[in-house]
């Protein structure tokens, strides 16, 4: 717990009808950062937001906001505002009245409301849209009204539950920039939910990868992309080659029937592991210089690169991203550096994983 911590979950579990939806979740959210909860449908993302907002109470554990226990504090007494997936705007009210709604409930003076609404609309680039009906606004504009309605209350935290999922790809990309820029300008903590890994990598200061009601890994986008802790994270974040292997000794790992130099240490001799190599870390090379020999099975052109699917002699599948085109059926060599091999210990927790990485740093210093 530091001064910058704004929200803290301590061993929080949530059950609905005896089913555990969140399982002993602990984390800290710092002031002024952009967080993303990332995970597949049903993993518990919305449940976490609802717990923070105060719409539901935890079954076990404690939630702190600004170091104060808030398990029993009702939603309207928390400095938190939510932007829902469907925006939940009032269709019979115009833009101005939608944004002013919360302030009217608080019985603020008319001129104060006027000023705050104008400022909020200016922030989201909707000046001059005050009298428009919601039904006359595009998807992206509705999105901005929903955000204006949240920021007008000057909350400390804004929760955004898949706010971009209804938009087409181009608008979605534009809104990703806008949202990120808006968060920087406001300096308010954003907690954003998505099941789109590219969106999470592009937008976040910190990502929590969630599966089956547990946080699998938390960290910066690069931490999570470069050092996935387990098969789930490696698979969910970006495309990966995940192969079963065995640690021979420090800096030597065996997979695909061969031994390779690697940068991992501190595992047991002969320990069963899984290794990850990202498709962009595999380079097509002449056979003599290759680490592996594979046969090209299929390929797709993805605009910037070819996505080439190959198989080695043992039947392992290897996905390669290359600007060079391959030929189906051709035998090719693949080259990779020791740094490209990420060794994952089976069943390792995030805490154990972090400790292991720290011990590498100590050794290398
Ligand atoms: N009020 C409730 N009663 C019973 N089960 C619930 C309730 N709310 C959520 N659940 C269950 O909890 C699990 C997690 O739900 P949650 O809405 O948090 O998932 P999510 O990660 O937001 O998924 P999605 O990406 O589909 O929105 C789901 O299996 C859901 O059916
Ligand atoms: Mg949800």
CATH number at residue 287: 2.40.50.140
Flag whether 185 is in a domain: yes
Query: Which of 171, 194, 226 lies at the terminal end of a domain, its last residue?
Result: 226
Q: What region, left, alpha or beta, does residue 54 occupy, with left being phi > 0 and alpha being psi -120 to 50 degrees?
A: left
The rounded Å distance from CA 343 to ligand 2 centre is: 32
Which ligand is nearest the CA of 45, by number? 1
**Residue 46 CA, ligand 2 centroid: distance in Å:** 4
190-248: per-residue pLDDT in tens?
999 999 999 999 999 999 999 999 999 999 999 999 889 999 999 999 889 999 999 99
Alpha helix stretches (DSSP H) within the chain: 45-53, 95-105, 110-123, 139-151, 169-186, 197-203, 221-226, 231-236, 350-364
How far is C-alpha 245 from the chain's CA centre? 28
The tokens for 150 are 């949240």
196 near 168, Cβ under 8 Å? no
Contact 161, 88 (CB under 8 A): no
Asked if residue 234 belongs to a domain, the reply is: no
What angle in degrees, to the nearest 10, is found between the helix axes of 95-105 and 139-151? 20
**Residue 232 lies inside a defined structural domain of this protein:** no
| Claim to verify: residue 220 and residue 137 sit in the same structural domain | yes
Please tell me whether residues 146 and 282 are part of one structural domain. no
Residue 363 has pLDDT above 70, yes or no: no
Of 199, 226, 253, the residue at which a domain comes to its end is: 226
Asked if 28 and 158 sit in the same domain, the reply is: yes
Nearest CA to ligand 1 atom 25: 41
- Residue 287 CB partners (closer than 8 Å, separation 6+): 293, 331, 332, 333
Residue 87 Cα to ligand 2 midpoint, Å, equals 13
- All residues at 6 or more sequence positions from 201 whose CB lies less than 8 Å from its CB, including other chains: 207, 221, 225, 237, 238
Whether residues 189 and 258 share a domain: the answer is no
pTM for the whole structure: 0.89
Q: 180, 186, 185: which is closest to 205 by C-alpha?
A: 180
91 in any annotated domain:
yes
pLDDT band at 108 (very low <50, low <70, confident <90, very high): very high
Would you say the C-alpha torsion 98, 102, 107, 113 has a positive or negative sign?
Answer: negative
pLDDT digits (tens, 9 = 90+) for 44-69: 999 999 999 999 999 999 999 999 99
What is the token pair recorded at 83? 């932007």
Q: Are residues 170 and 284 in the same domain?
A: no
Which class for 325: exposed (0-12), middle (13-18), buried (19 or more C-beta within 10 A)? exposed
Q: Pick the atom of ligand 1 nearest to 37's CA.
A: 21
Q: Residue 213: inside a domain, yes or no?
A: yes
Ligand 1 atom with minimal separation from the 47 CA: 18
Considering only CA atoms, which residue is closest to atom 3 of ligand 1?
Answer: 16
DSSP symbols for 3-19: TTEEEEEEEEEEEETTE
Q: E strand or H helix at 254, and its extent?
A: strand 252-255
Same domain, 204 and 288: no
Mean pLDDT calculated for residue range 329-334 = 96
Average pLDDT of 336-348? 93
Q: What is the extent of the structural domain holding 287?
A: 240-364
Q: Residue 365 pLDDT more than 70?
A: no
Q: Give the CA count within 13 Å in the CB-facing half-sphere of 347.
A: 2
Q: Which residues keep their CB under 5 angstroms from ion ligand 2?
A: 46
- 153 and 222 in a single domain? The answer is yes
Domain count along the chain: 2
Q: Of 244, 229, 179, which Cα lies nearest the Cα of 35?
A: 179
Q: State which of 182, 198, 226 marks the end of a domain.
A: 226
Question: What residues flank ligand 1, with Cβ below 6 Å?
Answer: 16-17, 21, 39, 41-47, 195
Reduced to 3 states (helix: H, G, I; strand: E, B; else coil), residue 160 is strand
Same structural domain, 101 and 179: yes
Q: Please name the residue whose Cα sits nearest to atom 16 of ligand 1.
A: 44
Which of 20, 42, 195 has the most ligand 1 atoms within 8 A of CB, as the residue to mutate?
A: 42
Q: Which ligand 1 atom sits nearest the alpha carbon of residue 49?
A: 18
pLDDT of res. 255: 97
27 & 162 share domain:
yes
């Amino acid at each position: 717990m530091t001064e910058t911590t704004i929200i803290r979950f301590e061993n929080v579990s949530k059950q609905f009808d005896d089913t555990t939806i969140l399982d002993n979740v602990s984390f800290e959210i710092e002031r002024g950062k952009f967080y993303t909860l990332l995970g597949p449908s049903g993993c518990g993302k919305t449940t976490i937001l609802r717990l923070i907002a105060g719409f539901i109470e935890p079954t076990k554990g404690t939630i702190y906001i600004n170091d104060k226990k808030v398990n029993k504090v009702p939603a309207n007494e928390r400095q938190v505002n939510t932007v829902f997936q469907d925006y939940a705007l009032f269709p019979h009210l115009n833009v101005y009245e939608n944004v002013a709604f919360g302030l009217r409930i608080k019985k603020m003076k008319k001129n104060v409301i006027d000023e705050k609404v104008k400022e909020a609309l200016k922030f989201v680039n909707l000046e001059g849209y005050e009298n428009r009906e919601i039904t006359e606004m595009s998807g992206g504009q509705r999105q901005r009204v929903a955000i204006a309605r949240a920021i007008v209350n000057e909350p400390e935290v804004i929760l955004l539950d898949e706010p971009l999922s209804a938009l087409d790809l181009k608008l979605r990309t534009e809104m990703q920039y806008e949202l990120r820029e808006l968060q920087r300008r406001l300096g308010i903590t954003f907690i954003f939910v998505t099941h789109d890994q590219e969106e999470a990598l592009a937008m976040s200061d910190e990502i929590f990868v969630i599966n089956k009601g547990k946080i699998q890994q938390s960290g910066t986008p690069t931490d999570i992309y470069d050092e996935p802790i387990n098969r789930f994270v490696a698979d969910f974040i970006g495309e990966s080659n995940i192969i079963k292997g065995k640690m021979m000794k420090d800096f030597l790992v065996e997979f695909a029937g061969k031994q390779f130099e690697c940068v991992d240490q501190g595992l047991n001799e002969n320990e069963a592991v899984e290794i990850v190599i990202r498709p962009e870390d595999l380079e097509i090379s002449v056979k003599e210089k290759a680490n592996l020999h594979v046969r090209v099975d299929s390929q797709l052109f993805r605009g910037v690169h070819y996505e080439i699917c190959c198989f080695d002699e043992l039947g392992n599948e290897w996905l390669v991203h290359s600007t060079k085109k391959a030929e189906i059926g051709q035998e090719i060599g693949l080259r990779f550096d020791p740094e490209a091999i990420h060794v994952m210990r089976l069943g390792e927790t995030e805490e154990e994983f972090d400790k292991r990485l720290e011990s590498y740093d100590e050794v290398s210093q």
